[in-house]
Amino acid sequence: MDSNSIALIAEIDHELRHRSHAALLLLEKIRPHDEPAQQATYDLLHRYLQQNVALAESIHAWLLARMNNRTAD
């Protein structure tokens, strides 16, 4: 993987991590709802955003490992 590819992936990684964490934090500031249907929607969106954060962190860990391996070579 060349330097340009790594730089592009690093930029995407940064944006993905920032946006996924920000979206989850915004949702967590919203009060849960009393109505069951609204609460179910809130819970589903919360779980989805948690999964996005986990995915973003996995991609970040992969990128760091890839960069460390490249530096070691």
Tokens of 15: 């944006």
Taking only the tens place, the pLDDT of each residue in 13-31 is 899 999 999 999 998 888 7
The predicted pLDDT at position 38 comes to 86
Q: How confident is the model over 34-52, as a mean pLDDT? A: 90
The predicted pLDDT at position 72 comes to 76
Rounded-to-integer distance, Cα 61 and Cα 11, Å: 14
Rounded-to-integer distance, Cα 1 and Cα 8, Å: 11
Domain extent listing, the chain: 17-26+51-73
Which residue do the tokens 């973003």 mark? 56
> Is residue 67's pLDDT more than 70?
yes
